[in-house]
Amino acid sequence: MSADVRYFKDLPLSQEVLKGLRKLQFRELTPIQAKAIPLLLEGLDVIGQAETGTGKTAAFGIPLVMRMDSSDDRVQGLVVAPTRELAEQIALMVRRFARYTGVKVQVVYGGENIDKQLTRLSEGAHVLVGTPGRLIDLLKRRDLDLRAVKVAVVDEADKLLEMGFIDDVRFILSRAPFLRQTSMWSATLSDEIVGHARRFMRSPVEVRLSKDDVAQPLVEQFYLRVDPEHKIDVLLELLRDRRIDQAIIFCNTRESTDDLAQRLAEAGVPVEALHGRHSQSKRDEVMSAFKLRSLRYIVATDVAGRGLDIQGVSHIINYEVPHDPEVYFHRVGRTGRMKQTGVSFTLVSEDELAYLNEITAMTNVEVKELSVKAQPEGTPERGAQT
């Protein structure tokens, strides 16, 4: 299959799937879709570097639907996701891809009555989307049989690793046939993630985003050189900008996330912290408040921030520069979505300049320097450009 496929109509998809994509107004493939879908349609195992917002769900969901036999009511496709919210989002999208195919999609997760989920499963599930804990519950109760699985997907592998679910994933996949197609998706592809993946995959092909793919052309990107001791003051100055109605502020660790959120709250800023140690109810509460705009700012780690799939976030602020350039682009990708414009600010201390240089070397979009002083209302004053 040509690597230059640009439109869904040019892929070898069934008329039923194409009809569903037309209904969704899916025409042109995103970069990750153009790279991954042809490989998956050929039956290869794929390790994909992508996150929510890049078209990742369609990248694995469309080939998944194509492999299902609607005349066989057994579970043939399995998707493992770290959180209830993500599992529900995936199931919703795969149902839309399968709208005219007869393929049934069900979702299971903890926190909901298991008997209700068993009732839905009894109605038929060609594709099952679930979180690790609930899938293991069903397997141990012998209420779930994965022996007919032809395609398995592991989504947000880095989050599964952080939450301690990787061993659970291996257990779940051990209950499916070895001769199956598997794809695994992660925002970043560390050696540890790839090492885990190769234990349950067969000669996987790695698919990574290129410099052009991560350009984020709809996001104006700025950086400010700051003294570490005055970083919080510069951040407060940015937040007082009347145009920053809502923002996600990223830190590199849980500890710095909690510390910054506390310091901002003490300064009177309406803010909540969000990271991997928070409970599901806490996550739900924060996300609901942010969506309703009763909460203006969230301080988040990268893994927690990826769950915030919210339209209309105008600003992203990197309080700490990520050490991995890929992570920077995933943060910036929280804004500038659905063809809307966005703005990102990165606060850079002297010891973080090397990380910033790696980031600017990876993108074709200019990251402009701003002056810390003389910030007018609106956009801060521009300084030198890099």
Its pTM stands at 0.64
Question: CA dist 29 to 33, 187, 356, Å?
Answer: 6, 19, 30
Compute the average pLDDT of residues 241-265: 89
Which pLDDT score is estimated for 162? Answer: 82
pLDDT for 271-285, tens place per residue? 999 887 777 788 788
Could you tell me which residues come within 8 angstroms of residue 63 by beta carbon, excluding any fewer than 6 positions away?
A: 37, 40, 41, 151
Q: Mean pLDDT lowest for which of 3-12, 146-155, 298-307, 317-326? A: 298-307
What element of type H or E holds 101? none
pLDDT for the residue 330:
73
Percent of the chain with pLDDT over 70: 86
Q: How many other C-beta atoms are found inside a 10 Å radius of the C-beta of residue 52? A: 22
- Cα separation, 358 vs 57, in Å, equals 29
Which architecture characterizes domain 219-385 according to CATH?
3-Layer(aba) Sandwich (3.40)
- Distance between CA atoms of 91 and 76, rounded to whole angstroms? 14
The predicted-structure confidence for 81-128, as pLDDT tens digits, reads as follows 999 888 998 999 999 999 999 999 999 999 889 999 999 999 999 999
List all residues 6 or more positions away from 115 whose beta carbon is below 8 Å from its beta carbon: none
Domain with CATH 3.40.50.300 in the chain: 8-207, 219-385
Which stretches of the chain are DSSP H helices? Answer: 15-23, 31-41, 56-67, 84-97, 114-122, 132-140, 157-162, 166-174, 191-199, 231-239, 254-266, 280-291, 302-305, 325-332, 353-362
Q: With beta carbons less than 8 A apart as the criterion, state whether 342 and 53 touch.
A: no
What confidence category does residue 373 fall into, taking pLDDT thresholds of 50, 70 and 90? low
CATH classification (class only), 8-207: alpha beta
The pLDDT tens digits for 150-182 are 999 999 998 898 888 999 999 999 999 999 999
- Going by pLDDT thresholds of 50, 70 and 90, the confidence category of residue 379 is very low
- Has residue 52 got a pLDDT over 70? no
Q: What is the pLDDT of residue 74?
A: 96
Q: Are 128 and 79 in contact (CB under 8 A)?
A: yes
Separation of alpha carbons 105 and 93, rounded Å? 10
Q: Please tell me which residue, 360 or 348, carries the higher pLDDT value.
A: 348
Q: Cα angle vertex 305, ends 302, 181, to 5°?
A: 80
The DSSP output letter for 28 is B
CB 126 within 8 A of CB 105: yes
CB-facing half-sphere around the CA of 385: CA atoms within 13 A: 6
What tokens were used for 91?
């199931």
User: Under a CB-based contact definition with an 8 Å cutoff, are residues 348 and 226 in contact?
Assistant: yes
User: Which residue in this structure is represented by tokens 């969901």?
Assistant: 61
pLDDT at 383 over 50: no
**Tokens (6 digits) for 253:** 């660790």
Compute the radius of gyration of the chain from its Cα atoms.
22
Q: What is the largest CA-CA distance in the chain?
A: 68
What's the order of all strands across the beta sheet hosting 271-274?
271-274, 297-300, 247-250, 315-318, 342-348, 219-225, 367-370, 382-385
Mean confidence (pLDDT) of the chain: 86
pLDDT band at 374 (very low <50, low <70, confident <90, very high): very low
**CA atoms of 295 and 256, how far apart (whole Å):** 20
The fraction of the chain above a pLDDT of 90, given in percent, is 54
Task: Check pLDDT > 80 for residue 372.
Answer: no
Residue of 325 and 74 predicted with greater confidence: 74
